[in-house]
A and B are shown apart, each in its own frame.
Chain A
Amino acid sequence: MANQETQLLDDVIAKSRRKMLTFGLSSLAGLVAGASAPIAKAATASYTDADILNFALNLEYLEANFYYLATFGTTIDKANTASTAAGAPLITLSGTVGTPGTVSGGSKVPFATIPVASYAIETAVEEGKHVQLLLTALGSAAVAQPAINLGTSFQTLAAAAKIPGGSGFSPYASDATFLVGAYVFEDVGVTAYHGAASLLTSSSNLSTAAGIMAVEAYHAGLIRTTINYLDPTGATIGGYTNLISALRASLSQAGLLGAAPSAYDSNPDDFGLATFPVSLGGGANVTATRLTDADSTNVVAFARNTTQVLNIVTGGGAVNGSVAVSPATGVFFPAGMNAGPNGFR
């Protein structure tokens, strides 16, 4: 596993100097007038590349356990016949920073169709490899797997999103509900890696993060494509994507800590699979379906800062009014994420 790439990643992290950096993304708005990408509120923070990669590792623990449980019926640290047959990495939970927790909830989906079952296996294996990559790269600086709730968390979120029957929603019930569960995660992964990209100091870490982000976006495209194929009119799961995206946009907006609430309505940073009018080559408007989670003007994928991401995965636990809460707890991370002294949680 320790190939040249991860070894070099390790070296760079070890040597990486602590730095002061304005926390927040240079927005496209600075480049293009009228750009609709959100601008993260600036705050000053001191952290290393390892802190950023550990933030990503928390998210990968969450995603990988979800896919392993849904696909194989086991967590990432316990092999069974199905996970072994699929070649899914068996993860040794070697991270020691922070407080180790347990994974609760989740069960094998009774998959009935080959497309969804095969996509689930592929995604589980790939997310497992991301956990392994980050654990190996971070070495002794890696955070422990925190407490993760993959059961009641989905009901809480589904109810908050106003999905019909949300308080009883289970992503493990069927092929269709599994896709909805996966939808909850993938676009968020893209925005988190995207937000982190410009904060990383070493170009090797950047290229690795860009490569992982690409994989998350492939997954997100896969999920959106499949949901759209199964429900092109948005009557059921296609429509749920809009409800979930609206909730994520709302939680993300709150994560900007004090930005005018009105900014959200006209300027969300998340879109489901709804249709919208577009002009092609200067012609009259035609209808397009949102295949990507990107702004409508420049079609550049959204980026989120760590507070925004935390507020989504904790269901609002990262923000109290206009003040950031640390550690953020709730929903998927009942005891919060794990982080080093200057890390993000």
Chain B
Amino acid sequence: MAKLSMLNDSGVSRRKFLAGVGASAGAVAALNLAGCGKSTPITPVSPPPNQHVVTDADILNFALNLEYLEASFYLYAATGAGLQASDTTPGSTATYQTAGTVTPGDAAAVAGLTTAQQEILNEIAFEEQAHVRFLRTALGTAAIPMPDIDLSFFGPLAVAAGITTAASGTGSFNPFASFDDFLIGAFIFEDVGVTAYSGAAPLISASGVSLGYLTAAAGILAVEAYHAGYVRTTLTGRAIAAGSASAYPYLGIANQVEALRATLTVGASAAPSTSGSVETELTLPTGLTTASSIVAASAADAVGFARSVNQVLHIVYGSPTVGVSAGGFFPSGINSVFATTTA
């Protein structure tokens, strides 16, 4: 609820929300994925005053960075290749003028899919590709190019989540290895996408609302939630079919991913499904009278969660540290005025 109550404070400024001020960073477990593995203590800092007035284009471009990442992941999983070059180029007036490249790691078309599974992968890949194109078209000349993207980061991320000990090679986590591994890879992104758009939608200016930006953001948010519903339903359904958590370890692995995301959600880093968290753990229904846990929402009133830009950044950089401007899935940082973690 921390995030919603922040939003509910009508005096809160857009900048303040974006910076995630009010977050209690001291409670965050130390974690350093990109570096040598040493613990890094967190020091709360104030955001620098008066640097850049946040525009709607800044918010849409932030979203575009995330869509480049999601589209690259799903396109590789569905086809073995990423976005076509023409979908990654900079707009003529964008602050950033160099299209990045994808470090594929293990990226490849997922093998062994049923026809139904392949058609769903195709669908999600198509939809994320469409979001990239839609945002690029909406932003026009202001559209940022694709930043450098590192799909080999799934390995270190899985180590940080405690799923395995090998960050690469034999024994490492590879989301392209099988349908179940793919579900885990998708799970890493989808709930985060929902919360990112939920956090961003109320930041859009009044003129942006009349231009349709809010409607667009809300509509993309809904699509991300459909995807998240698919991933969580499929993980849960396969666990039910297998009969136990041990017979289908992926449900537990998804919850390990979720616990890591919670840790990285600086300012709302309580454990999933506990007070103050923006994560809902998956559960294994064991009979006809137990509930599933498909929806990620507050236990009190079943309202979906939101994350600040800063919290989303911590997750995709794989770091709870303040002042970090690159890492994780984005080895050169995102192309955004929000590229550096601020709280």
- Chain A residues in the interface with B (C-beta under 8 A): 1, 3-6, 8-9, 12, 25-28, 30-33, 37, 82, 85-87, 111, 114-115, 117-119, 121-122, 125-127, 129-130, 132-133, 190, 194, 197-198, 202-204, 206-208, 210-222, 224-226, 228-229, 232, 275, 278-283, 286-294, 297-303
Contact = CB atoms under 8 A, between A and B. Distances in A.
A220 B229 contact: yes
B272 to A, nearest CB: 16
B123 A119 contact: no
A288 B295 CA distance: 24
B113 interface: no
A293 B226 contact: yes
A12 B124 CA distance: 38
A298 B137 CA distance: 10
B120 A218 contact: no
A219 B295 contact: yes
A32 B220 CA distance: 15
Contacts, number: 314
B134 A299 contact: yes
Contact of B291 (A125, A219, A280): A125
Nearest to B7: A207
B198 interface: yes
B244 interface: no
B215 interface: yes
Contacts of B82: 281
B75 A281 contact: yes
B198 A280 contact: no
Given A25-B215, A220-B229, A291-B124, 7 more contacts: A115-B237, A133-B301, A211-B297, A221-B230, A222-B229, A281-B83, A298-B134
B284 to A, nearest CB: 9
B10 to A, nearest CB: 7
Nearest to B219: A300
Nearest to A287: B119
B289 A122 contact: no
B51 interface: no
Interface string B135-166: 00110000000000000000000000000000
B78 interface: yes
B210 A4 contact: no
A4 B2 CA distance: 10
5 contacts: A8-B5, A130-B302, A210-B304, A219-B229, A300-B134
Contacts of A283: 79, 81
Interface in B264-295: 285-295
Interface residues of B, number: 84
Given A121-B292, A278-B122, A114 B286 contact: yes
Contacts of B119: 275, 287-289
| Most B CB within 10 A of own CB, among A1, A26, A37 | A26
B237 A229 contact: yes
Contact of B303 (A125, A197, A208): A208
Q: Which of B225, B228, B301 counts the most chain A CB atoms within 10 A?
A: B301
Contact of A218 (B218, B237, B294): B294
Contact of B116 (A115, A130, A282, A289): A289
A207 B198 contact: yes
Contacts of B115: 232
A86 to B, nearest CB: 6
In this complex, the member of A132, A203, A282 whose beta carbon has the largest number of chain B beta carbons within 10 angstroms is A203
B221 interface: yes
Given A28-B216, A126-B297, A280 B303 contact: no
B138 A299 contact: no
A167 to B, nearest CB: 30
Interface stretch (B125-133, B247-255, B328-336): B125-133
A288 B126 contact: yes
Given A118-B290, A125-B291, A221-B225, A211 B4 contact: yes
A217 B233 contact: no
B291 A122 contact: yes
Q: From B4, B197, B232, name the one whose CB has the most chain A CB atoms within 10 angstroms.
A: B4
Contacts of B303: 5, 133, 208, 211-212, 215
A211 B221 CA distance: 10
Q: What 9 A-B pairs are tightest by C-beta distance, nearest first?
A: A221-B229, A214-B304, A118-B285, A217-B225, A300-B219, A301-B222, A26-B212, A211-B303, A288-B123
Interface in B182-219: 194, 197-198, 201-202, 209-216, 218-219
A286 to B, nearest CB: 5
